[in-house]
Amino acid sequence: MARKKAAAHDENSPAYQRGMAQIRKQLGPMADAYIRNIKALAPEFAWVNVTFPFGELYPRDVIDLKTRELCTVAALTVQGFSLPELKLHIKAALRCGASRAQVAEIITQMIAYCGFPAATNALMTMKQVFDELDAEANDTRKKKKPASRGRRA
Amino acid sequence: MARKKAAAHDENSPAYQRGMAQIRKQLGPMADAYIRNIKALAPEFAWVNVTFPFGELYPRDVIDLKTRELCTVAALTVQGFSLPELKLHIKAALRCGASRAQVAEIITQMIAYCGFPAATNALMTMKQVFDELDAEANDTRKKKKPASRGRRA
Amino acid sequence: MARKKAAAHDENSPAYQRGMAQIRKQLGPMADAYIRNIKALAPEFAWVNVTFPFGELYPRDVIDLKTRELCTVAALTVQGFSLPELKLHIKAALRCGASRAQVAEIITQMIAYCGFPAATNALMTMKQVFDELDAEANDTRKKKKPASRGRRA
Amino acid sequence: MARKKAAAHDENSPAYQRGMAQIRKQLGPMADAYIRNIKALAPEFAWVNVTFPFGELYPRDVIDLKTRELCTVAALTVQGFSLPELKLHIKAALRCGASRAQVAEIITQMIAYCGFPAATNALMTMKQVFDELDAEANDTRKKKKPASRGRRA
Amino acid sequence: MARKKAAAHDENSPAYQRGMAQIRKQLGPMADAYIRNIKALAPEFAWVNVTFPFGELYPRDVIDLKTRELCTVAALTVQGFSLPELKLHIKAALRCGASRAQVAEIITQMIAYCGFPAATNALMTMKQVFDELDAEANDTRKKKKPASRGRRA
Amino acid sequence: MARKKAAAHDENSPAYQRGMAQIRKQLGPMADAYIRNIKALAPEFAWVNVTFPFGELYPRDVIDLKTRELCTVAALTVQGFSLPELKLHIKAALRCGASRAQVAEIITQMIAYCGFPAATNALMTMKQVFDELDAEANDTRKKKKPASRGRRA
């Protein structure tokens, strides 16, 4: 006899919608593709990813989002192996109002709690994020100013 | 302006009730006290503890509970520091049909994946659990047979 | 004065042969190349890899191989950094009778014990394994049906 | 030929004095005993403990102390084994302006990044800190009001 | 059909005898009780504990025992949770010729690789070991000099 | 009111110069580029990297550099995720007098303390280092013998 699955997962439910709204707020345009990617592999994983941290924990008002994201950056730094997730949350920290210098500062502070190897892993991940953001900003600038560049020529 | 808390937490909701039913099934009589204890410290922590792993993950029918609990024992063994949680899940594994020898076997297998220090931590935690269960069984036997002991005297 | 090495390592010994038989059973055709690769770097490492987990632990009959492999998948998931080893053991779990859905389910369950970063690392590793297996299956199909494909053209 | 030790350690140096001032600011009255205890075991350990995180990292002005301490609480939570250090930094977070609810909130947020076992270890450590602080506050109240208690008798 | 256990475990075999000789050399008088304790819980665990690290790895002549033990102290320090095993190996390091200052030095060096929380855990474990050894030495002195103490009285 | 940064960082100070001398001794020609790279991302991170482990810890005379580097190799092996840092310190261990066989031996010994996944990660990192060193040695040989090669042509 097969037991039933625990819960029907309704993506139109308030719980899921609240989670998706929050994840878009923190991760920006990449949020939907990120969840879609996970859902294709394991729908249950995607469901809890949306409804639990983003639908349940992050929207609470006890601590502001910028502080929450810096705490997450600190946590992922000391773990040493959480580099793909760290990339997401460095971007999220910047979106939530942290400066690049503040991200670098928290990673540097973590040397005291995880040593240089994990902190250096995080620093190099931070560099990748900053380089990607700079490249995107560069692309955007180029697309926006074709006329002005034409005039200079 | 204060943001609102993410969700009203209704302990009569199906999600919470399903979680509590599941946690009682796995942890037995200690389940309610365990959650009450956490709730007194941090109600949000208790809510996600009930609704997420127990309300959402464990009741799914893809893998049987005994196998799930042995996997959790394996996971907590390799972490090395998860000894209070390991105590709970060794008890849960036994409740779900695993034998003591099987618990010892999985901890032994983990030597290959986490080395001796973490595996020995787990083995000593297993000993504590078995000793506690033996002491409880002993107490129960004594309470059940006051007459027969009286007769022997 | 130089101390002697601990033990002469005889690859024809029952201990080594039993280990190689077991490793082939779990890892399949890649087993021999895997061990040969390690042996070229550090013969002692290869020797203990064959004789200890595979010659000593896995062949014991207390727990079936499928359950053992799912426990190993759980353990490697929570470690977060054991992704090359996780690839091997996801393949081994499938060879020992686990379904793809069961592998995904155990990785999803581990969210509760290691959080999303380590579990997501494992999920992406699982995707790599499934993609590789699909590509191999595809290659095999193509090689087997050259005539039928010719007829369709 | 013996190499010389790297550096003469002058506790009257600005570097050491700045570190001790900072550590007292964050840890309060227990700071001096904490460092003295370590110095008795390993003077070099104590020297770097004072001059590196407290003399060098924490006094920087890029991020405020309260946010820094919440980040440290997050980091120590996910490590799972850093419970004695976590006790110190929960106290420090409170001294630097975090509320008890905010400490509990960050520990709860960390469930998503380290799972329940490490987060529960942290929650129980938080409980110990709060209980100790309550007991101290109680002692202080009793000592301050001997007259009023006498009058009641 | 039940599969057979992998190997008959003969404690008179050269492999086991070599392991026990080595473990006594490193851990001293406590070695036999340590293994007996584990064997009572899980005979397979005890067998691999004796034959694999002590029978196979430590007796090899490529690196001297003192260096090996300092490396093990370093490894257990950075893990943060391996404190019972660290106690054993700090004692073993001292038995193999390391000085107390060298043990403290390696733990201090590890701050750079694991941060203060794990290194402080190790330092406090080192203190316990040194205190125990001092107490034992004190007891031994007292037992050896009953006459001289009598004369003073 | 903005607090001042903790310390003026003078790269001509004895502390920094001592650190740079030490890091060059251990890491060789790549030392300067390594620190320059970090400094471009986070000057404070680079400052503590130079002055704390290399300026403060490694130059102390209690333990010789070769033993220190083998301990660091052991520590980074068990962490599992510290592979970029491990590359540096395997090179440093060789520069400080360790043989390739001794590096392989310590990584093999660590199987007992961290299991196969982390140890195998380290072994594959060791292979990368040895391959790089062999390729460099090959390049150097080729460059040194242009005449002889010319004569052969």
* pLDDT tens-place string over residues B45-65: 999 999 999 999 999 999 999
Q: How many Cβ atoms sit within 10 Å of the Cβ of residue E16?
A: 18
Contacts of E135 (CB under 8 A, 6+ apart): none
Residue with tokens 């609810």: D101
**Res B8 pLDDT > 90:** no
**Residue of C42, C48, C79 lying closest to F117 (CB–CB):** C79
Over residues A8-25, the pLDDT tens digits come to: 789 999 989 999 999 999
Q: Which of D118, A6, D110 is nearest to B19 (CA)?
A: A6
**What is the C-alpha separation between B15 and B10, in angstroms, rounded?**
9
Q: Give the pLDDT score at D103.
A: 98
Q: Give the pLDDT score at D89.
A: 98
Q: Give the pLDDT score at B3.
A: 43
**Residue of B78, B113, B116 lying closest to F113 (CB–CB):** B116
List residues of D whose CB lies inside 8 A of any C CB: 78, 110-117
* Residue ranges of chain F with per-residue pLDDT less than 50: 1-6, 149-153
Calculate mean pLDDT across residues C119-147.
Answer: 91
**DSSP helix, strand, coil percent of chain C (3-state; round to 5):** 80, 0, 20
Q: How many Cβ atoms sit within 10 Å of the Cβ of residue B51?
A: 24
**What is the C-alpha separation between D23 and D95, in angstroms, rounded?**
12
Burial group, residue D25, by CB count within 10 angstroms (0-12, 13-18, 19+): middle
**Res C143 pLDDT > 60:** yes
**What is the C-alpha separation between A8 and F150, in angstroms, rounded?**
77
- Residue, of A143 and C153, whose pLDDT is higher: A143
Over residues A45-57, the pLDDT tens digits come to: 999 999 999 999 9
**Res A59 pLDDT > 60:** yes
Question: Is there a contact between B114 and B82 (Cβ–Cβ < 8 Å)?
Answer: no
Backbone φ and ψ for C97, nearest 5 degrees, come out as 110, -5
Model confidence, pTM: 0.93
Q: Would you call A84 and C127 a contact, using CB atoms and an 8 Å cutoff?
A: no
Q: Give the pLDDT score at E91.
A: 98
Task: Name which of F50, F56, F62 to mutate to probe chain E: the one with the most chain E Cβ atoms within 10 A of its Cβ.
Answer: F62
Per DSSP, E29 falls in state G
Over residues C89-114, the pLDDT tens digits come to: 999 999 999 999 999 999 999 999 99
First and final C-alpha spacing in chain C: 76
Question: Is there a contact between F84 and F30 (Cβ–Cβ < 8 Å)?
Answer: no
Task: Name which of A108, A109, A110, A113 to mutate to probe chain E: the one with the most chain E Cβ atoms within 10 A of its Cβ.
Answer: A113
Over residues C31-81, the pLDDT tens digits come to: 999 999 999 999 999 999 999 999 999 999 999 999 999 999 999 999 999
Q: Which of C87, C124, C123, C91 is nearest to C106 (CA)?
A: C123
Half-sphere exposure of F140 (CA within 13 A, CB side): 6
Question: Is there a contact between D112 and D99 (Cβ–Cβ < 8 Å)?
Answer: no
- Provide the shortest C-alpha distance from residue E96 to chain D (in Å): 21
pLDDT tens for chain E, residues 1 to 153: 334 444 578 999 998 999 999 999 999 989 999 999 999 999 999 999 999 999 999 999 999 999 999 999 999 999 999 999 999 999 999 999 999 999 999 999 999 999 999 999 999 999 999 999 999 999 988 887 765 544 443
Sign (positive or negative) of CA dihedral E21, E24, E25, E27: positive
Average model confidence (pLDDT) across chain D: 91
Residues of D whose CB is below 8 A from C78: 115
Q: Would you call C60 and E15 a contact, using CB atoms and an 8 Å cutoff?
A: no
Task: Name which of B54, B76, B78, B81 to mutate to probe chain D: the one with the most chain D Cβ atoms within 10 A of its Cβ.
Answer: B81
Backbone region of residue E105 per phi and psi (left: phi > 0; alpha: psi in -120 to 50; beta: other values): alpha
Q: Give the pLDDT score at A141.
A: 87
E4 token code pair: 């057979």
Q: Would you call B112 and C67 a contact, using CB atoms and an 8 Å cutoff?
A: no
Biggest distance spanned by C-alpha atoms of chain E? 75
**What is the C-alpha separation between F55 and E134, in angstroms, rounded?**
34
Contacts of A135 (CB under 8 A, 6+ apart): none
**Res C142 pLDDT > 90:** no
Per DSSP, F53 falls in state I
**Residue of C42, C45, C76 lying closest to F117 (CB–CB):** C76
F6 token code pair: 């903790």
Q: Give the pLDDT score at B30.
A: 92
Question: Is there a contact between E124 and E102 (Cβ–Cβ < 8 Å)?
Answer: no
Q: Give the pLDDT score at C80.
A: 98
* Residue ranges of chain D with per-residue pLDDT less than 70: 1-7, 146-153
Q: Give the pLDDT score at D30.
A: 92
**What is the C-alpha separation between F5 and F7, in angstroms, rounded?**
6
| ipTM of predicted complex | 0.90
